[in-house]
Structure 1
C-alpha cells in the first residue's frame, strides 16, 4: 500500500476552500450566482449526454420539442437558464422520465 506524504496533504486545499477563494463564501451573492450557473451547466450536460447516447442531433431534438437548434445548443453549453417546462419537454423527447417526490 502506498503511503501518503502527510506534509503535502496538509498543504492541500479542500474543494470548499477553493470555491470560497474564487467565488466567495457560501451565502454571498457571488457564490450564489456561481451555484446557479453550475446547476444550469449540470442539467445541460445531462441532456447532452443523453442526446448523444441516443445518437440524435441537436436539430432532431429541437424538432421533437418544437424549438430552435440554437436553443438546444445554448442549454447544452449551460449558457441559458432553462425553464422547468422546457427541461421536462426536452427530457421527455430524450426518453427521460421524472417522478416528483415531496418529502
Structure 2
C-alpha cells in the first residue's frame, strides 16, 4: 500500500487550526463540536419522528426557541433535559464500561 504524501493527519490539522490538545482554543473547539453533534442527533431523531420543535419542547417542558438553539449547537442541554429529550424521541442512552 502506497502512502499519499498529500494526505496529512487530522490531528495535525486540528493542532494547526485550534492548538494542541489541552489548550484553551482546542478545548473550545471540542465543546463546539460536541454541541453541534448533540444538536444534529436531536434534530435527526426529531425529524424521523415527524415531530416539530414546538411539540418536542412541550413534551420535555421547555420552549421551541430553546430546542432550536440546542439543534443549532448554540447551547448544550443539561443532563436532565437531555435525558427527557432522548426519552421523548424514543431513543435510548446506554452507559457501558469500555473493555480494555
**Ranges in structure 1 where 5+ consecutive residues have no aligned partner:** none
Identify the range of structure 1 (33-42 vs 67-76) with the bigger mean alpha-carbon deviation.
33-42
Alpha-carbon distance in 1 for matches of 2:94, 2:75: 24
SS in 2 for 1:10: coil
Corresponding residue number in structure 2 for 1:32: 27
Normalised by the length of structure 2, the TM-score is 0.88
SS in 1 for 2:90: coil
Corresponding residue number in structure 2 for 1:19: 14
Q: What value does the CA root-mean-square deviation take over the aligned residues?
A: 1.8
Alpha-carbon distance in 2 for matches of 1:57, 1:81: 19
Corresponding residue number in structure 2 for 1:73: 68
Normalised by the length of structure 1, the TM-score is 0.86
Alpha-carbon distance in 2 for matches of 1:62, 1:100: 25
Richer in helix (by share): 1
**Ranges in structure 2 where 5+ consecutive residues have no aligned partner:** none
Corresponding residue number in structure 1 for 2:78: 83
Deviation at 1:11, TM superposition (A): 2.5
Q: 2:93 aligns with which of 90, 98, 103?
A: 98
Give aligned pairs, total: 98
